[in-house]
Structure 1
């Protein structure tokens, strides 16, 4: 916590001199705490004192980490370092006094003295860390400092994270692990903890160094990758991660990481970093594309899903996309699309869509390699594919086949039309919607497709959707029907069911809530009036009055239908029927 501003009394004692009877490390810790508090009262050389304060806090965390070590006070190298630290702290204390009282002789000289103290603090931090890393000091009671309370100040959070970082840097394997776990817990809890953490010098560098750590069971590597993945979730910090050089070690984790979770976190971190296509070349330059593709070739379980996400970002760069294709990615991902794993299926189909979008040569290659058949198999109601995978397959099919008559014929040969009809009849809401969109697309491909859809039994199913609560569904079903009944064969088939015409006329009741798609319904009826049997059924329907009301209301399409029904030729046909 920052103290109130104050002027240091001339007779104030140096904290080091007034701490007799306490352990040397405890005296140094109290001295640093006193200096840190005092530094907030200094109004001059703010930048230099901020730097010194940061180093004092890091030294404080480092000393706190070793305070409970067995026999620390009697270890000669540490004793020597503590003596040097005492001298530097005394010097720093005097400089702080002069700055608070504005009693220094000159600005340049004071700036030079502050730079010297700053460099000495760097040396002390390095020295203590090296001594601890030798392993001669053992923890007797290695307890991490209490976690900041909810609503804690920025300084309290920063001190806590610095303490964790010190323990991670110089602690035993178990302490390193505890420190990384605690760090990950706090940065996942609230965004502001991440922002405070990344401001601490070397934090990202320290985390990155553990990606290559080989001295444990892989826990440290896993926690480091997890922490970096959290930080990468913030777009503003991604540039700093790249500058810290984390790409190469992340790729090494993917290639030979000690655990599946380490690889998963590494892949997710790379996926976030490559959302910016400028970072794609960094992955490529370190051989990452080949590593990613190899994981897909080996079919590495859930990891493939995240790897697909990285590759999807990378192929936005045309040169990388060409390389991926040359390496045989198309056949690899078609094979993955047949996987029984939902995540792998969805991710691989999504990647194929990205690869083929706007790229005719890759689209043709995908069809040639069996991509259409693989996607239709996912769609097959007899398959074990999930609704999400089927939905993705439907999107993939439309994307793959939208501009090729030949591909539509291939689709029909594989039973695509039967699958669509099945989901119109039996699918859940989302699948029915996608099946409706697929039917709309299929209907627009050719007149032959319309005939086949009529023969397969699409029109009765589409008629049911005309009464849907969703305006979008009603509109799309009406558009498909309107397009289908242009074909004479479909007109005759439509009126074979006595109820179909009556249902259409009934829906044209101006008082019905779903009357909004009347234009399309009238269009369907207009097409049907080209068929004699349809005209007879319209004229004899009890709901013909709805058309007449619309005609009286000056609805042009309704007036046209009435005129057709009232033509002399048609009247003679009706007269023959009525008098027979």
Structure 2
């Protein structure tokens, strides 16, 4: 039996140059056919104008140095050729004086061809405007290495966005994958992407694609851009990114929802954007994500709620949608990041008005905040918790509970000694505001030297005042006065702060502390203050009429002034 004959190889696909030649030939014929058509004359006139525009665009393409290497163009040209061949077939049927076929069907076919030509023109125009046809594919399509020239990055970004808009699924997937890699490798590239990329086309992929992978990749790119910097965040918001992200958070898959929540938190970090959440009906969506979402969804969603709580007009909506209940749950059941954001949100609400303070207390927010204060080791979380507690302490019952809690007061002292400057300021404020027993004041005497050091800090604003007020409160106890007076470093710091040449400290604060330290008949304290030169400094300040300085002079002068008055009376 003779061997079977080998099947012939498939014909090779024509090159881009060959396809362009075929298109040019058909265009020449179509120009004549459209002008000589006897039926549907109006439609053929429209088609003729589009063919003329197409011919001009193709001429511009062939003028570009690297047009034949572009893979997108290699995919576009065969589709364009097919459209033109179909149009030529339809035009041949319309040369007679009377059309004998189905008129409605022909009208529909011509309209579809017209739409297809418009789409081809749009895609070719995108290619031309992107500039990628003037750059070698070997340079443009390779992933930029660190330190690549800005011009190469721009061409690369434009090429990727061109593929997003006119490429098929494979082009879109690879373009989005490349964008994610670029943004992940180089944070600074987000600014170029926002400036040079077509952000609206990216936003459209969030809603207008049924391909799950492309949609999820697009969400990732949008979330990264929203989180990168102010300019890229503004670009995403201005092009309408918030609404699609909220819809995805409500109806998307778990992975999509997590990335959408990340993008929403980033967008709402700008107070000018946060108001729009309510306009899109996003408050209940965020609250639901906090209640039923994954850990990441909870973290990002409560972060977005925290951001929008800054907007006064939205706060009432948060209450109406039971956001407070969800925030309370996250304080005790959420992970560390969710707890920190929930505490931050409550601190904003508690600091805003008596109305919200009453609601937080009513929802048993105070004991939960107090528990988190004792349990948390995160300075960021403690800052927000203490801020909320400070606001709630304006309520007399809360203030009384805090004043009687030795555990709470002792932890405030530890934060003044070991905390960051924000925690130190808030803790000092609470110590100065609360009225607690002499026993509790003695229990935290060890924090007094640290309060003295805080009085020297120029920032944050107000820290010198609250530190001095806390010290004055603690110095009402005699043993505390004696203990601070034995600390030579603290006395030297106070004396230095009293020096008129030291302009970094408002003089009324060290004056108040020195006056408190010298009060109550503490001769030993007065002697130590006089020995380090405090009296001389305060006398100078009294002459300058600094508030409290004259009283401090009298206390520091003490027995010597009494002896002078007594001797004068005897004489």
Shorter-normalised TM range: 0.5 to 0.7
| Residue 196 (structure 1) aligned with residue 196 (structure 2) | yes
In structure 2, what is the Cα distance between the partners aligned to 1:393 and 1:540? 42
TM-score, normalising length: structure 1: 0.64
Deviations 1:503-537 (A, max 9, x none): 665545569999775654443343344422x0x21
Deviation, 1:471, is 3.0
Pairs within 5 Å for 1:209-224: 209-210=208-209, 213-214=211-212, 219-224=213-218
Paired position in structure 2 for 1:269: 263
CA drift at 1:470: 5.0
Residue 537 (structure 1) aligned with residue 539 (structure 2): no
Q: Distance in 1 between matches of 2:123 and 2:453?
A: 79
| Pair 1:178-2:174 in alignment | yes
Using the TM superposition, give the Cα deviation of residue 343 of structure 1 relative to its aligned residue in structure 2, in angstroms: 1.0
TM-superposed CA distance for 1:412, in Å, is 3.7
Alpha-carbon deviation of 1:449? Answer: 3.2
Give 1:421 deviation, angstroms.
1.8
In structure 2, the partner of 1:500 is 486
Between the aligned partners of 1:417 and 1:315, the Cα distance in structure 2 is 30
Instruction: Report the CA distance between 1:284 and its aligned residue.
Output: 4.1
- Pairs within 5 Å for 1:71-82: 80-81=82-83
Which stretches in structure 2 are left out of the alignment for 5+ residues? 1-11, 25-51, 62-66, 90-112, 125-139, 544-548, 567-571
Q: Deviations over 1:241-288 (max 9, x none)?
A: 22xxx555423321343343x223312333344456676676446543
Distance 1:568 1:284, change over 3 A: closer
Q: Of 425, 435, 440, which residue of structure 1 is paired with 2:428?
A: 440
Quick check: 1:398 aligned with 2:412?
no
Q: Pairwise mapping of residues 113-132 of structure 1 onto structure 2 (< 5 A)?
A: 121-124=117-120
**TM-aligned CA deviation for residue 224 of structure 1:** 0.7
* Structure 2 residue 402 is matched with structure 1 residue 408: no
Q: Is the 8 A contact 1:207 1:225 kept in 2?
A: yes
Alpha carbons of 1:49 and 1:228: their partners in 2 closer, same or farther (altered >3 Å)? farther
Q: Could you tell me which residue of structure 2 aligns to residue 454 of structure 1?
A: 441
How do 1:94-113 residues align onto structure 2 when only pairs under 5 Å count? none
* Aligned counterparts, 1:154-303, within 5 A: 156-157=155-156, 160-165=159-164, 169-172=167-170, 175-186=171-182, 189-198=189-198, 202-210=201-209, 213-214=211-212, 219-232=213-226, 234=232, 236-238=234-236, 240-242=238-240, 246-260=241-255, 262-274=256-268, 283-284=277-278, 287-298=281-292, 300-303=294-297
Matches within 5 A, 1:363-382: 363-380=357-374
Q: Distance in 2 between matches of 1:269 and 1:437?
A: 33
Residues 335, 222 of structure 1: CA spacing in aligned structure 2 closer, same or farther, 3 A cutoff? same
- Cα deviations across residues 320-340 of structure 1 (Å, max 9, x unaligned)? 432321232112102212246
How far does residue 479 in structure 1 lie from its aligned partner after superposition? 0.7
Shift of 1:399: 3.1
Q: Distance in 1 between matches of 2:55 and 2:467?
A: 71
Separation (CA, whole Å) in 1 of partners of 2:161 and 2:359: 54
* Shift in CA distance, 259/340, structure 1 to aligned 2, threshold 3 Å: closer
Instruction: Measure the CA separation in 2 of the matches of 1:118 and 1:154.
Output: 36
- 1:223 deviation in Å? 0.9
- The answer to whether the 8 Å contact 1:353/1:400 transfers is no
Contact 2:176-2:217 at 8 Å conserved across structures: yes
> 1:345: how far off?
1.1
In structure 1, what is the Cα distance between the partners aligned to 2:364 and 2:290? 18
Length, aligned pairs only: 463
Deviations 1:70-120 (A, max 9, x none): xx98xxx88633646999xxxxxxxxxxxxxxxxxxxxxxxxxxxxx9976
The C-alpha deviation readout for 1:466-495, integer Å capped at 9, x for no partner, is 2579534994575135531674xx2x2324
Conserved 8 A contact 1:271-1:313: yes
Give the Cα separation in 1 of the matches to 2:308 and 2:401: 31
Distance in 1 of aligned mates of 2:243 and 2:69: 29
Which residue of 2 is the match for residue 64 of structure 1?
A: 71
**Partner Cα distance (2:525, 2:284) in 1:** 66
Query: Displacement, 1:366?
Result: 0.6
Alignment of 1:526 onto 2:515: yes
Change (3 A) 1:510 1:223: closer
Cα separation, 1, equivalents of 2:123 and 2:430 = 73
What's the Cα RMSD here? 4.9
Deviations 1:440-465 (A, max 9, x none): 3224435x33746524333x421344
